[in-house]
Amino acid sequence: MPATSNNRFVEMHALTALEHMRFTTRHRIEGTYTGRHASRQLGGAGEFVDYRDYTPGADLRRLDWKVLARTGKAYVRLFQDETNLLCTLAIDASGSMQFGADPPGAKKSKLEYVQYLACALAHVINRGQDQVGLAILADELVACIPPGGTASHVTFIQETIEQLTPRPTVHMAGALRQLFEQSRQRGVLLLMSDFLVDDLDDVFATVRLFRHRKSEVVVIHVIDPDEERLPAGAAYRFTGMENEGVVHCSPDEIRDLYAERFSAHAAAVRTLALSNGCDYRRVSTAIPYLQTLGGFLVERSG
Amino acid sequence: MFVNPWAILIGVLAAGLPLAVHFLTRPRPVRMPLSTIKFVHEAVLHRRTRHRLRDAVVLAMRCLAVLLVALAVARPFLGQAGLSTVDDQADLVRVVVLDVSQSLAATSHGIEAFERARSLAAGQLEYRRGMKADLILAGARPASIFKRASSNFQVLRDELSKARVKPEKSAVQEALNLASEIIAREDDSKGLRREVVIVSDFQRSNWAAADFSVLPEGTRIELQSVAPAETPPNLAILRVAAQGRAEVGRDLRLEVEVANYSESPQTVTVEVLLGGASVQLSGLCGPNLKTVLTGELPLHETGWQTGEARLLGVSDALAADNVRACVFDVRPAPRLALVTRESAAKRPSASYFIERAVAPVPGASGDGAGPEAAGEVPSSATGGLLRLDPAKLDREAVGSADLVIVVQPGRLAEDSINQLVGVVRRGRGILYVASDAADAVNLRQIAAATSGILKFPVEFAPPAARQPRRNLFLAEMQKDQPPFQIFGDELPALVETLRFSGGLDSRRLEGALAEDILGQYSDRSVFLASATLNAGGFVVLNADLTASNLPMSPLYVPLLGEIVQKLLGQGRRAGEIPCGEPFALSLPPDAAAAAELTIAGPARGDGSPVDGEAAVGDLADDGAGVMWKGDAAGRPGAYRVMHKNSPIFAVAAAIPAEESDLRTIPAKVFEERLAGGREVHFRSLSGLGADERDTVWSWLAVACVVCLVGELAALKGFKT
């Protein structure tokens, strides 16, 4: 991994502070290579974890003969394999993720924030000898890079992230289903989105498919603080970022109702995520992404 | 029916203001892309119905409030439509007579009666198929808008909207005659219906002698009264005059007649401004009574003085009659000429008594000195009195005298007769003390010298030898006329002791005016008689002063003083003409030619004349001098005839006193006594409960407030 990068979303100097941290998972996973994560395979090459009664057909190589000799009872020794992590970063590239970039340069849009966060995550995951992949979600699966662990693979992923452009879309379930169909391995799916889609239930129905596959799904709900409350002012002409049209209104008249609706939306996303066994994390773009990432990694590491 | 229908139009326009303000003041929206527009849209959809309802309610309340204010200003009268029968489609000719006299300016409940009248008249001039109408504005000189009834209602309504109250009384009968002529011009071969609608306050003073019989048979007469149910209280100045002659250096004794047309006594205060001086007169005026306030005002300048009398602290129904203009001719001290044959030294004598009465300055007159002592009667002066010998009358001396007193002149020569007649023609006065046969002849010759224009009410003759005049006393006097007026209730006691002997018998002439006989003896002969010629006055005192106790009576000096003041004021009396009435005034004989004179109207507060009203009437030379004539006197105020920027004559135009009495005639009188056999329908706003209906505007105002409160409640409710 080079010490510097031309990618504007990769701040190598800042990421050095996170190099000692690893992205971990509390679930047993399936990996391609041996790694530091508990594998779903209980083979014989790993660390001894437990006994279980012998059943006919069990591998006799794992039978604990000494115990059988002493007690007359047949037990099979179980060993935990350790494997590497296959992590897929799924980024929502819908138009709504562009919010926050007006006026340009004033602050990061949600998409830019996610781009920074995803590049940093890819770097951290790669530093942990794990494999990282990328999926760009819009109305359809825009890009899908299978997990890989080489430095060039990570650089490619980061370049892909850098070149990401938002698309006006209001449905994400289809793209997520495509991703599900294309990926065959059990790993970790980091779904980064604002979830401002019309098919929220379908999205989480698809998420459930990942969960059925025993993949771990981490839902990162990106929220811009300016979305939580309407701006002050007598009258606004709001234009949709995904071709939803124009709405004239006086924010004062709907401020409370809007906040109520938005809170309900955020709560719905959280409820859906948690009820589907996902790890939910609400991320505000007002907090620096490195701080967000640090906290996330610490929390994950337990 | 509205008092101010124009307010409706303004209200309709103003009702759009809240809408205009609402849309014009809407904030300019700021464009902003938003990712969560879905939530905004949902919120707006949820709120929009509520907000639109709120806006609609608030705007409706505001517009309604504005309309209600306009309606309140318009002052609706409920139930006024259809006062006149419009029940069929027959052809109809309708003449609307609108009273524009001063009394219509009276206000009741804050509304001028004329505005009510205008509204009622407008209702009668609405277009209707087959109807023709005309409008008569009944002032002092009623005039119709068209010569014949017309269907051009627009013009009639325009003229109606321009109509204004005039400071004059209404010539009721002339208006009825005019209406009759207009109706008579219409051909009734088609069974034309005729209607005369009269909108007025039906003042008792104007309408008591109305005769509706002049209207054609079958004419339906509808009287619409705008007078309130209760006659509104009104105070008025009816007359401003001076007692006697206005002389410089002497206080002018003012008389201001004030009327109290109300049911309670009023303490009135009148301020009279004349020239640079002012005086306040106060007194108590009983209910429905007139009272005369008197006071004295110092005069420092000669010439015509104009001013006004004003009621102070009065707020009554008719404000216009609280002010009255007045003019006075302030003259220098009078010059009196005593024409007598008697010697100044002879005492007692009639001339001596006269001299002492009119010029009570003792001494002078060359008592016992000079030619008088020798029995001659030369011209001599005693105070302001110039004694002249009738045999050698000095033409210049007689011409310059303001008053000539003739006592014991003996038989006058023709030249002397002519000189005396000339005195009267020039507007001066003559007091003739008649006592013997020569006086009877002189008086007859004086009357003859005027070609009969100077008419005495009686013919004087020497008493018959068999019926000497002795122990006569005064039997009849005109107590309310000068010179007896000032004695008031004490007059009987004062004259009771008077006894007369001598004098002339008198025979009443045919056609003589009773008013010219001011006093009579117990034998029906005349004690005091007056006559006028042009502007001059002639008073005959038929008494032998040396043969009666009159000179010794306390009545004598004031009586002579009153007679002298009456004669001195003759022709110079403060003139007053009623507004709107035609007038013809003779200017003083010494006035310049008409071409050199101009007329100045009432001045504004700053003294400048009012445009378009400066000149009223015309000045024309005639044989006897300059006549000032006009078809209609102008608005109230002082009018002056100017010669080289100085007034030589003035007159005050004033509102006729009848207009101040706002009492009305009951409907029954019209329908039973004045109808003249015609079908008369009397409708009154008061009879229909106008006062109650007149409160509609206040209910509208309350509704307006309710709307505003409702608006606030709506805002509060929707905010909650």
pLDDT digits (tens, 9 = 90+) for B407-440: 999 989 888 898 888 888 877 889 999 998 899 9
Count of C-beta atoms within a 10 Å radius of residue B286:
12
B contacts of A249 (beta carbons < 8 Å): 40, 43-44
Instruction: Please indicate whether, in this complex, the C-beta atoms of A99 and B26 are within 8 angstroms of each other.
Output: no
Q: Is a pLDDT exceeding 60 seen at residue A8?
A: yes
B contacts of A253 (beta carbons < 8 Å): 47, 51
Enumerate the H helices of B96-246 as residue ranges. 113-124, 153-162, 172-184, 204-207
Count of C-beta atoms within a 10 Å radius of residue B205:
20
Report which of B61, B142, B159, B230 is spatially closest to residue B684, judged by C-alpha positions: B230
B contacts of A247 (beta carbons < 8 Å): 37, 40-41, 44
Least confident of A93-102, A203-212, B240-249: B240-249
Residues on chain B bordering chain A, Cβ-to-Cβ distance under 8 angstroms: 26-44, 46-47, 51
Q: Is a pLDDT exceeding 90 seen at residue A190?
A: yes
According to DSSP, residue A169 is labeled -
Q: Which residues contact A295 (CB under 8 A, 6 or more apart)?
A: none
Strand order in the sheet with B266-274: B277-285, B266-274, B303-311, B323-330
Measure CB to CB from residue A235 to each of B29, B34, B39 and give the nearest one. Answer: B29
Shortest alpha-carbon distance between residue A245 and chain B (Å)? 9
- Please report the pLDDT score of residue B691 as a whole number: 47
A contacts of B718 (beta carbons < 8 Å): none
Q: Of the ranges A257-266, B104-113, B367-376, which is most confident? A: A257-266
Least confident of B41-55, B256-270, B322-336, B513-527: B41-55
DSSP for A177-240, written as a single string: HHHHHH--S--EEEEEE----S-HHHHHHHHHHHHHTT-EEEEEEEE-HHHHSPPPSS-EEEEE
Nearest chain A residue to B26, by CA: A235
User: Is B656 strand, coil or helix?
Assistant: coil
User: How many Cα neighbours within 13 Å face the side chain of B642?
Assistant: 14
Q: Is a pLDDT exceeding 70 seen at residue B194?
A: yes
Query: How is residue A189 written in tokens?
Result: 């799916």
Report which of B571, B628, B574 is spatially closest to residue B274, judged by C-alpha positions: B574
Strand partners, B619: B628
Contact B434, B463 (CB under 8 A): no
Report which of B462, B460, B421, B464 is spatially closest to residue B443, judged by C-alpha positions: B460
Q: Is a pLDDT exceeding 70 seen at residue B692?
A: no
Q: Is a pLDDT exceeding 80 seen at residue A34?
A: no
B contacts of A110 (beta carbons < 8 Å): 35
Residues on chain A bordering chain B, Cβ-to-Cβ distance under 8 angstroms: 95-99, 102, 110, 194, 196, 224, 227, 230-231, 233-242, 244-245, 247-250, 253-254, 257-258, 261-262, 265
- Please report the pLDDT score of residue A265 as a whole number: 93
Estimate to the nearest angstrom the gap between the alpha carbon of B186 and the chain centroid.
Answer: 37
Measure CB to CB from residue A261 to each of B27, B32, B42 and give the nearest one. Answer: B42
According to DSSP, residue B673 is labeled I
**Strand pairing class (B618-622; B625-630):** antiparallel
Measure CB to CB from residue A248 to each of B29, B39, B42 and give the nearest one. Answer: B29
Instruction: Please indicate whether, in this complex, the C-beta atoms of B40 and A249 are within 8 angstroms of each other.
Output: yes
Nearest chain B residue to A249, by CA: B44
Q: Which residues contact B434 (CB under 8 A, 6 or more apart)?
A: B440, B443, B460, B503, B504, B540, B541, B542, B543
Contact B228, B691 (CB under 8 A): yes
Whether ipTM tops 0.85, in short, is no
A contacts of B49 (beta carbons < 8 Å): none
Report which of A194, A218, A235 is spatially closest to residue A276, judged by C-alpha positions: A218
Report which of B379, B377, B427, B432 is spatially closest to residue B404, judged by C-alpha positions: B432
- Please report the pLDDT score of residue B539 as a whole number: 92
Packed helices B696-719 and B37-74: angle between N→C axes, nearest 10 degrees: 170
Measure CB to CB from residue A102 to each of B27, B33, B40 and give the nearest one. Answer: B33
Q: Is a pLDDT exceeding 80 seen at residue B5?
A: no
- Please report the pLDDT score of residue A35 as a whole number: 60
- Please report the pLDDT score of residue B86 as a whole number: 46
Nearest chain A residue to B37, by CA: A240
DSSP for B109-128, written as a single string: TTEEHHHHHHHHHHHHT---
Least confident of B137-151, B383-397, B650-664: B383-397
Residue range A136-178, pLDDT digits in tens: 998 899 999 998 888 899 999 999 999 998 888 878 999 999 9
- Please report the pLDDT score of residue A62 as a whole number: 81
Interface test with A, best of B40, B54, B55 (most A CBs within 10 A): B40
Measure CB to CB from residue A247 to each of B27, B44, B51 and give the nearest one. Answer: B44
Phi, psi of A220 (to 5 degrees): -105, 110
Measured CA to CA, the distance from residue A28 to residue A26 in angstroms comes to 7
A contacts of B42 (beta carbons < 8 Å): 261
For the segment B477-501, the average pLDDT, to the nearest whole number, is: 89
- Please report the pLDDT score of residue A176 as a whole number: 92
Measure CB to CB from residue A235 to each of B30, B33, B39 and give the nearest one. Answer: B30
Q: pLDDT category, B375, cuts 50, 70, 90?
A: very low
Q: pLDDT category, B380, cuts 50, 70, 90?
A: very low
Count of C-beta atoms within a 10 Å radius of residue A254:
25
Measured CA to CA, the distance from residue A278 to residue A211 in angstroms comes to 8
- Please report the pLDDT score of residue A40 as a whole number: 58
Q: Which residues contact A30 (CB under 8 A, 6 or more apart)?
A: A39, A40, A41, A83, A86, A185, A186, A187
Report which of B405, B404, B377 is spatially closest to residue B391, judged by C-alpha positions: B377
Measure CB to CB from residue A265 to each of B31, B39, B40 and give the nearest one. Answer: B39
Residue range B64-86, pLDDT digits in tens: 888 888 888 887 766 544 444 44
Contact B333, B385 (CB under 8 A): no
Measured CA to CA, the distance from residue B80 to residue A36 in angstroms comes to 104
Instruction: Please indicate whether, in this complex, the C-beta atoms of B29 and A258 are within 8 angstroms of each other.
Output: no
Residue range B433-476, pLDDT digits in tens: 999 889 999 999 998 888 878 888 899 998 887 788 888 999 99
**Residue B57 Cα distances to A180, A195, B30, B66, B688, angstroms:** 56, 40, 27, 14, 37
Count of C-beta atoms within a 10 Å radius of residue A1:
14
In the block, tokens 């002050």 appear at A232
Instruction: Please indicate whether, in this complex, the C-beta atoms of A241 and B33 are within 8 angstroms of each other.
Output: yes
Q: Say which residue, A90 or B211, is predicted with more confidence.
A: A90
- Please report the pLDDT score of residue A59 as a whole number: 81
B contacts of A224 (beta carbons < 8 Å): 35
Shortest alpha-carbon distance between residue B51 and chain A (Å)? 8
For the segment B295-306, the average pLDDT, to the nearest whole number, is: 84
Q: pLDDT category, A203, cuts 50, 70, 90?
A: very high
Q: Say which residue, B112 or A47, is predicted with more confidence.
A: B112
A contacts of B27 (beta carbons < 8 Å): 233-235, 250
Instruction: Please indicate whether, in this complex, the C-beta atoms of A238 and B40 are within 8 angstroms of each other.
Output: yes
**Residue B214 Cα distances to B149, B152, B444, angstroms:** 18, 26, 47
Instruction: Please indicate whether, in this complex, the C-beta atoms of B43 and A238 are within 8 angstroms of each other.
Output: no
Residue range B607-641, pLDDT digits in tens: 455 544 444 788 888 766 788 888 888 888 888 88
Phi, psi of B109 (to 5 degrees): 55, 35
Amino acid at B668: K
Count of C-beta atoms within a 10 Å radius of residue B468:
10
User: How many Cα neighbours within 13 Å face the side chain of A286?
Assistant: 8
For the segment A3-14, the average pLDDT, to the nearest whole number, is: 79
Q: Provide the number of CB pairs (under 8 Å) joining chain A to chain B.
A: 92
Whether pTM exceeds 0.90 = no
Biggest distance spanned by C-alpha atoms of chain B: 139
